[in-house]
Amino acid sequence: MHLYVLDLGLTPYDDAWALQKRAAAARISGALDQDLLILVQHPPVVTLGRSTKPGHLLATPEYLAACGVQLRDVERGGDVTIHEPGQLVAYPIIDLKRHTQDLHWYLRQVEEGIIRGLATVGLSCARVAGLTGVWHTDPLGRRVKLASIGVHARDWVTWHGVALNVENDLATFAYTVPCGIDGVEMSTVARECTRAGVAVPDWHTVQQAVAAGLANAFSLRLTALPEPLAALLRG
């Protein structure tokens, strides 16, 4: 089985959200015949998942708008999440009927894919028991979060996904309690590679590592999305 890849570059959140829904509908109907991985960066946006708690958004909608930050309520699980340029967002459109029909299993596989991908650029990362996401512990013992995950599924087909901080400045995170975890320190691949004394990979290298890691975790073969299917999904 294949994992098609579609790279959208820097794309507004609403456009990518609509494309995910079209892709999920196409996967459910069979018009999209293989699983799909959408790779994208977004302009600054705060998204509120179904589990967002009062007080986890630290700025008013009006203040966010004045700062050029969008605010969206979305159907994914999880708490408040940030997207901003320099962060790699990966949206797997996976038909779990062809894998394992278990969202907890799916979350662990997404984590595993990111962990495997980052290992290839020199970062040893891990899970934290009871917390969804991917974490790194630096040489001084500081535990930081690199990737946040929130998903949704219909008819066992997934959308939404994982946000990996690669080279973003983390400025937008000041407006939230990231992922609803008090005291969490967010970091980036670039920062943690520097702390670990590892060469900082370029954007393309991280993107390819993440795609390969996710494909490996789901036992899929990476394949470019055929243009007719890309045109169908773009609408």
Chain centroid offset of residue 229 CA: 22
Residue 67 annotated among the catalytic residues of the structure: no
Nearest one of 88, 76, 91 to 16, comparing CA atoms: 91
* Sign of torsion over alpha carbons 175, 177, 182, 187: negative
Catalytic residue (choose from 67, 125, 179, 193): 179
Residue 135: which of 183, 87, 184 has the closest Cα?
A: 184
Pick from 207, 185, 75, 72: which is nearest to 138 by CA? 185
On whether the CB atoms of residues 165 and 147 are closer than 8 A, the answer is yes
**Could you tell me the CA-to-CA distances from 112 to 5, 53, 122, 133, 166 in Å, in that order?**
18, 27, 15, 10, 17
Among all residues, which ones are annotated catalytic? 179
